[in-house]
Structure 1
Amino acid sequence: MNKIRTLIIDDEAPIRELISGILESYSEHTEVCGTADGVTTGLEAIRQLNPELVLLDVNLTDGTGFDLLRQLDDIRFSVIFITAYEKYAVKAFRFSAVDYIMKPVNIDELLTAIDKAIELMERKTLNQQLKNFFDNMNSKPEDKKIVLKDSKSIYIVKVADIVRCEADHNYTTFYLHNGKQVIVSKTLKEYEELLSDFMFLRTHQSHLININHIISFEKNEGGYLRMADGSSVPVSKRKRDELMDFFDNI
């Protein structure tokens, strides 16, 4: 396998040097073809060096990494964003399954992100995920979409169309309004955090529901919810009060 031509764009010279050193020492799949420190120099480097992978800082001296990408007509490389802790940006990355690493840069996290980027190159899905990322940045909450990946496909799903999610050990099954099911190899807890701002409620250890798809709450048999897809979802005793508070505030 030929080494992947990798460009590092970050406005901090020590970060550029650190990442270059990590890749040279620990990554057998990549070679650093160049570095840049901003939007203008980054665009010039991309056009001259034709990288296959770009490690791109979110905040640059003359703009943002997003500004840089928006100026490209066609993105023909994989992207790993580099960011300090910014809750909104990180959540947006996770929503679109876009890879990112946090500062300070951790060797294992960087190498894991590179492995994922190589997988994206093979599946040729990067542009699809970046498009969803930028769409989400500019869309209303009710129009947000989430990227769900199973072993064979990538689905871009409108959050409002998710009826419920159900846990099965380290897997989560999404039940959609059109009857489709998508099984993802991530835990329900991860999606509980990701969907917390979109009227989703954890009603049980194994169940996360979209409140907008509740048909009724049945108090018998310990309590369960009838959902728009025809399913019945149990409500644990611990979550019952939280659910009642929601109904009281409608």
Structure 2
Amino acid sequence: MISAVIIDDEKNNIDNIVGLLQKLELVITIVGTATNAEDAIQLIVTTKPDLLFLDIQMPNKNGFELLKALPHYQFEVVFVTAFDQYGIQAVKFSAIDYLLKPVNPEELVAAVRKVEIKLSRKKENLQLENLMELIRDKDAKKEHKLALASTKEIRFVNTSDIIRCESSNAYTEFFLVDGKNIMVSRPIFEYEELLADYDFIRCHQSHLVNKKFIKSLLKEDGGYLLIEDNVRIPISRNKKENVLNALNNIKK
């Protein structure tokens, strides 16, 4: 899902875009709207959207001046304007797209599709960079990062910062040392292989645990691993011998 902010000094124009996005059932979540540049800047910094629908002509600061005022940005821009004197050709070269008011539904769909493709390529490039880093530094295991792609972002996480993984059908949830969780749409068995060299134990069909966060082995009810966050992770019968062997080989 693409997160988007709509910036336009006329609320009816904002409502029009929102209505079209809903009617067309596009993969867009509107995380905020603003009717002036000052509010928009704060909104962008706070929400970190993937996309801006940005009006060019606004009082005090126009759309271009708004962009100049931002310290940095990694979002895509679709300019929305009722005017052509700002150099539409220049806008076409530098923005993902532009829309003339009143917004045409077909042109809106085309603009969103372009954004989807560009964001997808960005994710692929980030994943490729991470892969090349792994290849270059294959012996420095503790420095390796895992690319976890959620619906909003790709987060690169140190393997040493992952406490455990838990499967839910075809999804895997990662529990991190900073208290945050990340859900990714990949099955846990893929991560079992990836994390095998980083002291992770597959103790159950639904659980993969980082050995360094294990506090103790509880023998009750078939066996549990007690994790440092006091969560009890079950040990399945067919995994018990492998778990015991792995625990006996914990690096000091």
Name the larger-Rg structure.
2
What is the TM-score with the length of structure 1 in the denominator?
0.49
What is the TM-score with the length of structure 2 in the denominator?
0.49
